[in-house]
């Protein structure tokens, strides 16, 4: 049986680990690949998708 008061504490490790992974992913993009290098990794049709989806 789940105690409602303890449910938030159960989600805490998941949120912290997900946040750490998100931060590590972003820092990897900026410091290792650099911003111009990250732009080169984009899909070839990403500009087309952006131009068409910006109107939604």
> Which pLDDT score, from 0 to 100, does residue 31 have?
87
Model confidence at 23, in pLDDT bands (50, 70, 90)?
very high
Q: Span 4-31, mean pLDDT?
A: 88
d(CA 9, CA 40): 41
Q: Span 10-31, mean pLDDT?
A: 91
What are 39's two structure tokens?
């732009």
What are 34's two structure tokens?
């650099």
What are 11's two structure tokens?
């989600």
Per the model's pLDDT, the better-predicted residue between 14 and 6 turns out to be: 14
């Amino acid at each position: 049986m789940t105690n409602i008061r303890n449910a938030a504490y159960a989600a805490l490790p998941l949120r912290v680990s997900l946040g750490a992974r998100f931060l590590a992913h972003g820092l990897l993009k900026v410091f290792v690949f650099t911003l111009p290098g990250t732009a080169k990794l984009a899909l070839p049709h990403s500009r087309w998708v952006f131009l068409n989806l910006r109107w939604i």
